[in-house]
């Protein structure tokens, strides 16, 4: 079977290594993301003596004509980032498939492992599916689900998902080679499912009025290699890498974000319902591992800080207007 490989990043490296070890499969070209041009995939292309193709617009007629000349049987997407339209989906006679780190039809879209942790999901899935003109809506070929525990974070889920995706993709391609695929309509698993959007700069800020559980999930959901959770302390941006739930922490009313306890390794912060223990906290600007926090001081929400800045700016403008009014009235006398 001749395979065209459209890919990027660690997800694609292990999967490609597994495919090329099988005598049944032949990689006939590799297409990386145009913006990153993954150097590891370039090394694989050189090692396999296959073309490393760059397409700014994969759906352009010139791109499609270029791909047709390779006579590939199957196209595979592994973290490829261009939307695929109907014409390119028809080029390979056995179809165009994708490996997605989500339990479809749930968790369609982007940054799925982050969202699964943020949502306090108890499991995560990997799905190999045919690509159609929707977003992660095509028929399912293979799917596997694993449990998430409180000891998991983005790094642990990412490592597990990379291995799981490589194994599942290999299994799915073997089924396609053997003509033994049983296609599963996503609507048969759930009539709606759901989609998660791309996480952007500015999505890292903690809202201290959230519950302790929600903050815990948020921090572990975007820890390294993601950007990590952020907060403001003494008007400086702070990075928070780790937190833990405090068992039997009582629920009471106090100002969210207040530091209510500390020791040499961590400190305790009031949340919207109870308290949470934070560790590995440092200033974003100086990358310091130790900050001299004081009990009674507060983290503030980024939105609160912006509001305070706006209030200050409005107050300053009002002062200037009053001074100008006083000056003009003096001129008229």
The CATH number of residue 241's host domain is 3.10.25.10
| CATH classification at residue 111 | 3.40.50.170
In the prediction, which pLDDT does 138 show? 97
Q: Report if residue 138 sits inside a domain.
A: yes
Together in a domain, 91 and 168: yes
Q: Report if residue 220 sits inside a domain.
A: yes
Together in a domain, 35 and 115: yes
Q: Report if residue 311 sits inside a domain.
A: no
**What is the mean pLDDT of each successive set of 10 residues along the chain, which is 333 residues long?**
97 96 96 96 98 97 97 97 95 98 96 97 98 95 98 97 97 97 97 94 94 98 96 90 96 96 90 96 76 88 61 70 66 49
- Indicate the residue among 140, 171, 196 that finishes a domain: 196
- Indicate the residue among 150, 167, 196 that finishes a domain: 196
Q: Report if residue 44 sits inside a domain.
A: yes
Together in a domain, 136 and 225: no
In the prediction, which pLDDT does 186 show? 98
Together in a domain, 88 and 216: no
In the prediction, which pLDDT does 82 show? 94
Q: Report if residue 271 sits inside a domain.
A: yes
Together in a domain, 181 and 216: no
Instruction: Enter the pTM of the model.
Output: 0.88
List, in order, residues 6 or more apart from 274 with CB less than 8 Å away: 211, 212, 246, 249, 250, 251, 252
Together in a domain, 225 and 179: no
Together in a domain, 65 and 159: yes
In the prediction, which pLDDT does 332 show? 47
Together in a domain, 96 and 221: no
List, in order, residues 6 or more apart from 94 with CB less than 8 Å away: 1, 73, 74, 176
Angle at 39 between CA 38 and CA 43, to 5 degrees: 125
Together in a domain, 152 and 271: no
Number of domains observed in the structure of the chain: 2
Together in a domain, 90 and 230: no
Distance CA 270, CA 263 (A): 16
For residues 94 and 73, is the Cβ–Cβ distance under 8 A? yes
Output the 3-class SS for the chain: CEEEEEECHHHHHHHHHHHHCCCCCEEEEEEECCCCCCHHHHHHHHHHCCEECCCCCCCCHHHHHHHHCCCCCEEEEECCCCCCCHHHHCCCCCCEEEEECCCCCCCEECCHHHHHHHCCCCEEEEEEEECCCCCCCCCEEEEEEEECCCCCCHHHHHHHHHHHHHHHHHHHHHHHHCCCCCCECHHHHCCCCCEECCCCCCCCECCCCCCHHHHHHHHHHCCCCCCCEEEEECCEEEEEEEEEECCCCCCCCCCCCEEEEECCCCEEEECCCCEEEEEEEEECCCCCCCCCCCCCCEEECHHHHHHHHHHHHHHHHHHHHHHHHHHHHHHHC
HSE, side-chain direction, 13 A CA sphere, residue 60 = 8
- Indicate the residue among 145, 171, 196 that finishes a domain: 196
- Domain hosting 107: range is 2-196
In the prediction, which pLDDT does 292 show? 79
Q: Report if residue 294 sits inside a domain.
A: yes
Q: Report if residue 183 sits inside a domain.
A: yes
Q: Report if residue 324 sits inside a domain.
A: no
Together in a domain, 149 and 187: yes
Kindly report whether the peptide bond that precedes residue 105 is cis, defined as omega within 30 degrees of 0: yes
For residues 103 and 123, is the Cβ–Cβ distance under 8 A? yes
In the prediction, which pLDDT does 51 show? 98
Together in a domain, 28 and 175: yes
């Amino acid at each position: 079977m001749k395979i065209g490989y459209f890919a990027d990043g660690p997800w694609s490296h292990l999967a490609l290594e597994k495919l090329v070890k099988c005598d049944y499969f032949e990689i006939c070209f590799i297409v990386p993301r145009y913006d990153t041009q993954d150097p590891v995939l370039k090394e694989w292309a050189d090692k396999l003596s296959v073309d490393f193709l760059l397409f700014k617009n994969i759906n352009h007629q010139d791109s499609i004509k270029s791909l047709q000349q390779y006579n590939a049987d199957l196209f595979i997407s592994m973290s490829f980032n261009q939307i695929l339209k109907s014409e390119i989906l028809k080029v390979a006679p056995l179809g165009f498939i994708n490996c997605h780190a989500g339990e479809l039809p749930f968790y369609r879209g982007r940054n799925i492992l982050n969202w699964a942790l943020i949502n306090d999901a108890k499991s995560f899935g990997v799905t190999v599916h045919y690509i159609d003109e929707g977003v992660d809506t095509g028929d399912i070929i293979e799917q596997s689900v694993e449990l998430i525990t409180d000891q998991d974070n983005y790094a642990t889920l990412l490592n597990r998902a990379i291995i799981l995706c490589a194994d599942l993709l290999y299994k799915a391609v073997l089924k396609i080679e053997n003509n033994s695929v049983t296609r599963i309509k996503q609507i048969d698993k759930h009539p709606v499912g759901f989609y998660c959007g791309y996480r952007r700069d500015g999505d890292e800020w903690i809202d201290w009025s959230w519950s302790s559980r929600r903050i815990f999930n948020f921090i572990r959901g975007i820890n390294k290699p993601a950007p990590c959770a952020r907060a403001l302390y003494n008007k400086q941006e702070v990075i928070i890498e780790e937190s833990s739930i405090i068992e039997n922490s009582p629920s009471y009313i106090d100002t969210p974000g207040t530091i209510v306890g500390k020791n040499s390794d961590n400190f305790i912060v009031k949340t919207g319902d109870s308290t949470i223990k934070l560790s590995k906290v440092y200033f974003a600007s100086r990358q310091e591992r130790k900050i001299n926090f004081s009990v009674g001081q507060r983290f503030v929400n980024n939105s609160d800080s912006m509001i305070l800045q706006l209030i200050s700016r409005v107050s300053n403008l009002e002062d200037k207007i009053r001074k100008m009014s006083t000056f003009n009235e003096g001129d008229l006398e």
